[in-house]
Amino acid sequence: MNLGAVILAGGSGRRMDCNIKKQYLKINGESIFIISLKKLLNIKSIDQYVLVIPEEDKKFVSRILKENNIKNVKIAYGGNRRQDSVVNGLKMLKSVESVLIHDSVRPFFKEQLINKGIKQLRNYSAVIPAIPLKDTIKKVENGVVSKTLDRSKLVAVQTPQFFDYKELLNLYEKFNNINFTDDSYLFELKNKEVSIIMGLEENIKITTPVDYEIAKMLVKKGKVNV
Ligand SMILES: Nc1ccn([C@@H]2O[C@H](COP(=O)(O)OP(=O)(O)OP(=O)(O)O)[C@@H](O)[C@H]2O)c(=O)n1
Ligand SMILES: C[C@](O)(CO)[C@H](O)COP(=O)(O)O
């Protein structure tokens, strides 16, 4: 299987509320997106890499890549929405059968998760990691609870997500005008099965200042590998 990886670092990190985009914040002396990228570059089953970055940061990022001696990574530019960044990244891949899409701000994934995803792609066109919820989830309308959802049927979804490349690109072309937050949603729209593999509790998405503090703590305490 020829596998491509699209690593997303094209966002602006509004919820981090910081003067530097969150993917460039450092953990243990290294930018978050570089931690994710280096880990992916060490995975032998990946054949091609595309890193999606904000266009205005191209000089800054190419300097960081050079300092880290990172080669063989194509660069794509981000769009307004995450999904626009994904499609820009997908279009840079050449002759791949499958693709994994990863949020660079989830630096604590493990190689085993990727191996599981690749294996499951033999049977499905879309495979995503997810974990059980810890909180009770309620639906709210006009400031009051309208429903308590059955937690046993809900999961929290992570990346990396794994797809048949052609199917994903076709779906992207077809549903260009709707908004969604993860790529597997496109398969749901077409009633195609999305297979779930067990995610990792520590595979957090560094989204808010608290997440960043937790991420640094996990590394300091040796709870995760970077
Ligand atoms: N237009 C966008 C938006 C997001 N991302 C990337 O998608 C991942 C997950 O998105 P999220 O955590 O929402 O990042 P931001 O959009 O940057 O954050 P916020 O929503 O708080 O602005 C991140 O690695 C981010 O860089 C991207 O490449 N292009
Ligand atoms: C893809 C994702 O990380 C799965 O949890 C998430 O949906 C990204 O969402 P965001 O709105 O870009 O934070």
Q: Mind listing the pLDDT tens digit for each residue in 84-111?
A: 999 999 999 999 999 999 999 999 999 9
State the distance from the centre of ligand 1 to the C-alpha of 207, rounded, in angstroms: 8
pLDDT in tens, 205-217: 999 999 999 999 9
Q: Of the candidates 8, 24, 5, 26, which has an alpha carbon nearest to the alpha carbon of residue 72?
A: 5
Q: What is the pLDDT, as a whole number, of residue 1?
A: 79
Q: Are 127 and 195 in contact (CB under 8 A)?
A: yes
126-132 and 195-198 beta bridge pairing: parallel
Residue 29 has pLDDT above 90, yes or no: yes
Question: What ligand has the least distance to the C-alpha of 103?
Answer: 1
Phi-psi region of 69 (alpha: psi -120 to 50; beta: other; left: phi over 0): left
The minimum-distance atom of ligand 2 relative to the CA of 106 is: 3
Confidence of residue 176 (pLDDT cuts 50, 70, 90): confident
DSSP SS3 for 190:
coil
Whether residue 122 is contained in a domain is answered as yes
Beta strands in the chain (DSSP E): 3-8, 26-27, 30-31, 48-53, 74-77, 98-103, 126-132, 138-141, 144-148, 155-157, 161-164, 195-198
The answer to whether residue 132 scores a pLDDT higher than 90 is: yes
Question: Any residues with Cβ below 6 Å from ligand 2, and which?
Answer: 82, 103, 157-159, 181-182, 205
How far from chain centre, in Å, is Cα 47? 18
226: in domain: no
Substitution candidate for ligand 2 out of 205, 206, 207 with most atoms within 8 A of CB: 205
Nearest ligand to the C-alpha of residue 207? 1
Nearest by Cα to 7 from 36, 44, 35: 36
Closest ligand 1 atom, residue 208 Cα: 21
Ligand 2 atom 8, closest CA: 181
Q: How confident is the model at residue 225, as a pLDDT?
A: 86
User: Does some domain include residue 58?
Assistant: yes
In a domain, 115, yes or no: yes
The pLDDT value recorded for residue 206 is 98
The residue segments making up the domain with residue 31 are 3-221
Interval between CA 85 and ligand 1 midpoint (Å) = 9
From the list 205, 204, 209, the residue with the least C-alpha distance to 223 is 204
What CATH code is carried by the domain that includes residue 119?
A: 3.90.550.10
Nearest-atom number in ligand 1 for the CA of 84 is 1
Q: How confident is the model at residue 125 (pLDDT cuts 50, 70, 90)?
A: very high
Å from CA of 159 to ligand 1 middle: 12
Q: Tens digits of per-residue pLDDT, 36-86? A: 999 999 999 999 999 999 999 999 999 999 999 999 999 999 999 999 999
Quote the number of domains for the chain: 1
Distance 178 CA to ligand 2 centre (A): 15
Q: Is the pTM of this model over 0.95?
A: yes
CA 91 to chain CA centroid, Å, is 17
